[in-house]
Amino acid sequence: MTLLVTAMLPALLAALLAAPLALLPDAGPEHAAPAAPSVSPAATGSVDPAGTRVDFPGAGGIVLHGLVLTPPTAAAWHRGPGLVPIPGAGPRQDTRSRELAPLRWYESTWFQAVATLLCLTGFAGYALTGAVRRIRGRSRPDALPRAARWAAATGTAALLGGLGYLLFLVVTAAMFPGPVLFGRPVAWLAVQLLALVALGSAVVAAGTALRRRAALATAPGLDRARLGALLPAAALFTPWALSWGLLLP
């Protein structure tokens, strides 16, 4: 008896597993999924499409190049043409680019930082100490050249005005340069004029100081120090102004 049950157990398990499948509506062989039909590539429009080169004019005179892919069969027109950019077909460059020239010594970062600090100290220091002396009611020594005051005032204005205008252009992305005269912004022309007046006044002050060197020897030490700081600042201001184009026509 035991042997009979053991022999029939596989058949019973197979019948139990086949019974749920027989209840499904598509379980029969007549409901089997049909085989996928064989479709040729030409019927689906998957053959190589025809290409047409086109050019697209852009802003700034830039011309982009591309390739329009047209379906070769009428059955594939519902997909519409496609645009494929051509690799490396960007703006063409007719001339070879040149490497940037190395900065001159007066265009380096360290020189700009040091020169700006020393020039501002010499120009503004002379003007501020003179203003403090007038507030205290002290008279100006006759040995000091009058042109030194002009050099100090215009040099300070040229330094602060030039740097301030350049900073304004950077912040506004140069969208508002202001009125233009002779092809240059009026504000920049004013800074150039201040720079020229500062250097001219410094040259006159140096010449006057040489003629009055005997009188300057008896002047107070503070006044001699003021003039001694102003004239080197004016000399250093020359390459600084050249690097920023303040002395260029």
Q: What is the pLDDT of residues 232-241, one digit of tens each?
A: 999 999 999 9
pTM recorded for the entire structure = 0.59
Is 132 inside any structural domain? yes
Is 95 inside any structural domain? no
Model confidence at 164: pLDDT above 90: yes
Is 212 inside any structural domain? yes
In sequence order, the β-bridge partners of residue 56 are 64
Q: How confident is the model at residue 25 (pLDDT cuts 50, 70, 90)?
A: very low
Q: How many residues does the chain have?
A: 249
pLDDT at 183: 87
Is 81 inside any structural domain? no
CA distance 66 to 141: 78
Is 183 inside any structural domain? yes
Is 235 inside any structural domain? yes
Structurally, the chain folds into a number of domains equal to 1
- Residue 195, domain extent: 108-243
Is 120 inside any structural domain? yes
Q: What is the pLDDT of residues 34-71, one digit of tens each?
A: 444 444 444 444 445 556 666 666 656 666 666 666 55
Is 173 inside any structural domain? yes
